[in-house]
């Protein structure tokens, strides 16, 4: 489980012939990931497991509780925190009309088309399941349990992080002791696909966005394709989130917000 949470399992990618329809088939994806040969000995190297992470964690949750991860998210997190209609894995068909439409930033489609098929980026997931606006707006993708593509408001995910590091209206998701275990840096190494140094706690990246992770180890969070980001500072209890419907290649906007929040906390 620690290998899963630190992205060191060794199966960061999914089969090259995976289709959007495959992603919507929970059992098929879990079988494909389970049958994959690890790229390295688990626990020895790291690479962001973009799609596999969610399926592996979700299948562990299903086998432990007997419930799909979407149901556990709703019952154990969303309903207690009062955000049941703001955070989903698979969105009910009746709620599709409430979602913002995704848009690609100008030039992003052309940039993606110019990338060769053997680009490291496509090792995480083949071209046909790369999260573009067209892909992300598909009803079948929106309604499927694909943990790598949660659908949520910024308020909801910030509130969830707040309940991770403290109490929110009487709700606390983990104990202080468990939080200390979760937030401690558990693995540092060079991402085997993207080539940059990375530090992971248990399920979260470590370090403030745009800052040295070693100097901001109290911050944990995760960014998403398109430039969305959410994090919590275990030292101050401050959490924030940014969700975007105009997809960007980087986290420039999130870095600006991170800087604004950091300065506001320092001045408080």
111 by Cβ neighbours in 10 Å (0-12 / 13-18 / 19+) ranks as exposed
Count of domains forming the chain: 1
pLDDT in tens, 28-38: 999 999 999 99
Q: Which residue has the higher pLDDT, 94 or 124?
A: 94
| pLDDT tens digits for range 2-31 | 999 999 999 999 999 999 999 999 999 999
Phi/psi of residue 250, nearest 5 degrees:
-125, -170
DSSP state of 76: I
Q: Quote the pLDDT of residue 2.
A: 95
What are the CA-CA distances from residue 41 to residues 10, 37, 46, 203 (Å)? 7, 10, 10, 19
- CATH number of domain containing 84: 3.40.710.10
Which of 63, 95, 66, 64 is closest to 78 using CA atoms? 95
pLDDT at 268 > cutoff 80 = no
pTM of the model: 0.93
pLDDT at 239 over 80: yes
**Whole-number pLDDT of residue 267:** 85
Domain of 142, in residue numbers: 2-267
């Amino acid at each position: 489980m620690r290998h899963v949470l630190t992205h060191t399992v060794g199966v960061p990618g999914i089969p090259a012939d995976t289709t959007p329809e495959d992603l919507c088939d929970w059992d098929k994806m879990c079988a494909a990931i389970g049958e994959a040969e690890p790229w390295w000995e688990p626990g020895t190297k790291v690479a962001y497991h973009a799609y596999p992470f969610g399926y592996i964690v979700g299948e562990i949750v299903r086998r432990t509780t007997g419930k799909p991860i979407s149901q556990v998210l709703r019952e154990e997190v969303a309903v207690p925190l009062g955000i049941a209609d703001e955070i989903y894995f698979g969105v009910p068909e009746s709620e599709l009309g409430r979602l913002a439409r995704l848009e690609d930033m100008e030039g992003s489609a052309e940039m993606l088309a110019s990338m060769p098929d053997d680009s490291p980026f496509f090792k995480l997931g083949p071209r046909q399941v790369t999260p573009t606006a067209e892909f992300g707006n598909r009803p079948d993708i929106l309604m499927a349990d694909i943990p790598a593509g949660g659908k949520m408001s910024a308020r909801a995910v910030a509130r969830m992080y707040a309940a991770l590091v403290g109490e929110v209206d009487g709700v606390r998701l983990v104990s202080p002791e468990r939080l200390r275990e979760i937030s401690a840096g558990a693995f540092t190494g060079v991402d085997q696909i993207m080539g940059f140094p990375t530090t992971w706690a248990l399920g979260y990246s470590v370090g403030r966005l745009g800052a040295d992770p070693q100097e901001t180890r109290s911050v944990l969070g995760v960014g998403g394709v398109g430039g969305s980001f959410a994090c919590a500072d275990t030292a101050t209890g401050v959490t924030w989130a940014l969700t975007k419907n105009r997809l960007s290649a980087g986290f420039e906007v999130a870095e600006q917000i991170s800087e604004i929040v950091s300065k506001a906390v320092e001045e408080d």
